[in-house]
Amino acid sequence: MSRQTNEIVLISDISPLSLTTESFRALRASTKFTEAGKPVRIICVTSCNHGEGKSMTAANLAISYAQQGLKTLLIDADMRTPVLHKTFNVANRAGLSKFLTQPSTIDQVTHETRISHLSLITAGVAIANQIEMLSSPRMELLLKEALTHFDRIVLDTPPILQITDAQIISAHCDGVVLVVRIAASKTAELQQAKNRLEQVKANVLGVVMNGKKRSAREKRYASSTDNIN
């Protein structure tokens, strides 16, 4: 099975000793509880715009949870531009859209991956009324049922500044991770994204900064850990 598809690298799987993988472990640790001390089990991952690394972050964070022995479900909730079925090389016919629009069970739309403890619900075939379906009782039912089967649920959602899908989904989650590519998102956009999340009382767990250049020391350390692999 391909480990790199559509420019998404499952670094947490293929290079467990890398600095990038360690950063996902740190993200995993920092998203364990909310500020109020409530356990975080359902996490929404979004970004300001396309191309900032939200899908890569969602996939690798889910892998990091699974590597900890937690039964983890990764959901591709970006039904407009889905990529996770390609990343994990699974069919995209029975997915989220099927559960939302047809009588079906969570088992019928869930795919096992080659990674232990990690399952995937793909986006499924395109539908015309995504917003209505994501805000329907079927979406709430999906997450409720998923909580009975899995320890952690990670949702990859569309960019929050472009469509309202992420706002709708984040209202059902314990927390939100906002992915930002350095030099791509402007301060005004970050504030706008924060405002949109606050409108639905979403709990922002933190911001992931992509595109940071490594220092010479970090490059030397990364090289040494790669050699260990």
Domains in the chain, start-ordered, CATH in brackets? 4-228 (3.40.50.300)
Q: Give me the amino acid identity at 54.
A: K
For strands 118-121 and 111-112, give the pairing: antiparallel
- For the segment 26-60, what is each residue's pLDDT rounded down to a tens digit? 888 888 877 667 889 999 999 999 889 999 999 99
Percentage, residues of the chain above pLDDT 70:
86
Longest pairwise C-alpha distance within the chain: 55
As a whole number, mean pLDDT of residues 89-100 equals 94
C-alpha distances (whole Å) from 59 to each of 53, 119, 156, 191 are 10, 11, 8, 25
- For the segment 168-202, what is each residue's pLDDT rounded down to a tens digit? 999 999 999 999 987 656 788 888 999 999 999 99
Instruction: Please indicate whether residue 128 or residue 219 has the higher confidence score (pLDDT).
Output: 128
Q: Give me the amino acid identity at 202.
A: A
pTM of the predicted model, to two decimals?
0.86
Q: Assess whether pLDDT exceeds 70 at residue 159.
A: yes
Q: Assess whether pLDDT exceeds 90 at residue 19.
A: no
As a whole number, mean pLDDT of residues 99-120 equals 95
Lowest mean pLDDT among 60-64, 70-74, 146-150, 211-215: 211-215
Pick the closest to residue 153 from 133, 173, 139 (CA basis): 173
For residue 183, the model assigns a pLDDT of: 67
Q: Assess whether pLDDT exceeds 80 at residue 154.
A: yes
CB distance 76 to 120 below 8 Å: yes
Phi-psi region of 210 (alpha: psi -120 to 50; beta: other; left: phi over 0): beta
Confidence of residue 139 (pLDDT cuts 50, 70, 90): very high
| The two three-digit tokens of residue 8, written as one number | 């998404």
Pick the closest to residue 88 from 111, 68, 69, 66 (CA basis): 111
For residue 59, the model assigns a pLDDT of: 95
